Chains A and B, each alone.
Chain A
């Protein structure tokens, strides 16, 4: 079996976010990049499945310029078998989805896994778009996945509950919380091996871009916190009612 795992190259979760060029460009200075946190969970679970069923090849794919290669290597170090980088800036979700759908069509992959949501764009859309382009089912916010032979058993989050599904290949699953418990970290041996694993670079297919980010803003700096004495909670109630008007 073969799975295509879509990994984002995103700023570390502790990053302070800044912009340059009149707030039109993300400032990459001092930013550490990581594999998206959901994709890390996804990779971890896929490795567990691989250990269970033996026959599973995990291809990590990223749409991005050369700067994303260290991130892709991290996924290889954790345990992905090989990788593909589509050589283009990822500025638009549909553009990214088109590239990945194309790779899927040209390979003999059985299913696709993405993260539930990227932590830089926060679209929760790339996986759905890939599925739509390929005309296959999408299971969003998957909380559990098991694979045996011809079917996959998935649990997914729904609003206010959960669902269990059983489906045939192919499909797109977007990995949410619960997909795996703790992300695996690369071993020394993994890091050594990652250097030798194949990372194929391919050129993008053309795709009209239909969204753009004109300008970024940082949240307005908040007024300083108003402290209320721990002995005087009535004062907090008064403030919440009269000043903040939330109760």
Chain B
């Protein structure tokens, strides 16, 4: 028995979210009195694989099969499940992103397990396995009990802190059987914005709403984001009006995010918007209307005109950064 973490790599590199995943899994491994094994798929250097050892893994496995060059939910879930079976892992943890969720659900079916999607906290108990999850699109939470033979979890990005726990690690290449017929569902073309900070992973988000009047006014939002090392996002009407790309739409029907800091500029704070952002640790609202519902959810608020407040805030943060 060991805890198995499947962590993606991006062109051979791990991201902070990989280390978050390991830190989380390591705490569970300790609670369950067992070891932590990390698995990744692709061409990753020895050096990079070693970095996983800093966060509690005692074994790192890598699959370098050419057949797994493209992400296909069916082949990836099969590969990960095969490794879990070899290691007799009873707890499997992946990231709760588009690909992670897809493989996790499939793995739970393959291994006769149960799956808790989108967890953000450590389990309150290992036997029985009880973990808190989001419900009703962030308007509630639930204690969720998993009674399958295997427990599969997907961890929300940005929901767990990094905890260093360096171990002497072993690195091993491992092989799996891939069914050629499954390769039919492979992508014909892939467009990936490399090097761009993903909205779902950013620690700070600066988000704009219809109060910004038009796409030409996003310059100040982008500047503020750059100063903060943040990504930008937006409310649904802004994406619907094509002021901003659809990938930036957050909320109940867009991306669900949970950054450390969410700055909402000219966003009223409709319940469907809040459903996608209310797991943020700290929220700031900037709005001309003191009655805007966002102020009921925000930690800090400025009642004022975004066109004045945002540039001023940008300057103030620049000044602060220069002195700290």
Interface residues of A (CB under 8 A from B): 11, 13-15, 17, 19, 37-38, 93-94, 97, 119-125, 128-129, 131-133, 137-141, 143, 157-168, 171, 177-178, 210-219, 222-223, 225-230, 233-234, 236-237, 239-241, 244, 246-247
Report whether A216 and B73 are in contact in the complex, using a CB–CB cutoff of 8 Å.
no
A128, B137: Cα distance in complex, Å: 19
A124, B101: Cα distance in complex, Å: 7
Contact residue among B98, B189, B303 (Cβ-Cβ distance under 8 Å from A159): B98
B-side contacts of A97, CB under 8 Å = 109
B185 contacts partner chain A, Cβ-Cβ < 8 Å: yes
A-side contacts of B244, CB under 8 Å = none
Report whether B316 and A120 are in contact in the complex, using a CB–CB cutoff of 8 Å.
no
B211 contacts partner chain A, Cβ-Cβ < 8 Å: no
Report whether B106 and A128 are in contact in the complex, using a CB–CB cutoff of 8 Å.
yes
Interface of A is mostly: mixed
A-B contact count (CB 8 A): 247
Report whether B136 and A230 are in contact in the complex, using a CB–CB cutoff of 8 Å.
no
A-side contacts of B185, CB under 8 Å = 137, 139, 165, 167, 171
A212, B74: Cα distance in complex, Å: 26
Contact residue among B105, B140, B313 (Cβ-Cβ distance under 8 Å from A125): B105
Q: A13-B275, A164-B187, A236-B313 are in contact. Are A177 and B253 (CB under 8 A)?
A: yes
Report whether B73 and A137 are in contact in the complex, using a CB–CB cutoff of 8 Å.
yes
B204 contacts partner chain A, Cβ-Cβ < 8 Å: yes
Which of B23-31, B35-43, B84-92, B280-288 binds A?
A: B280-288
Q: A213-B144, A217-B141, A225-B296 are in contact. Are A230 and B305 (CB under 8 A)?
A: yes
Report whether A13 and B114 are in contact in the complex, using a CB–CB cutoff of 8 Å.
no
A211, B292: Cα distance in complex, Å: 39
Contact residue among B115, B141, B196, B320 (Cβ-Cβ distance under 8 Å from A237): B320
Tell me the nearest residue of chain B to A230, going by C-beta.
B304
Report whether A123 and B145 are in contact in the complex, using a CB–CB cutoff of 8 Å.
no
A150, B97: Cα distance in complex, Å: 31
Q: A122-B117, A158-B192 are in contact. Are A213 and B143 (CB under 8 A)?
A: yes
Report whether A236 and B300 are in contact in the complex, using a CB–CB cutoff of 8 Å.
yes
Contact residue among A161, A226, A247 (Cβ-Cβ distance under 8 Å from B191): A161
Chain A nearest Cβ from B48, distance in angstroms: 19
Report whether B106 and A131 are in contact in the complex, using a CB–CB cutoff of 8 Å.
yes
A141, B117: Cα distance in complex, Å: 15
B-side contacts of A123, CB under 8 Å = 105, 115, 117
Report whether A17 and B136 are in contact in the complex, using a CB–CB cutoff of 8 Å.
yes
Report whether A233 and B312 are in contact in the complex, using a CB–CB cutoff of 8 Å.
yes
Report whether B249 and A216 are in contact in the complex, using a CB–CB cutoff of 8 Å.
no
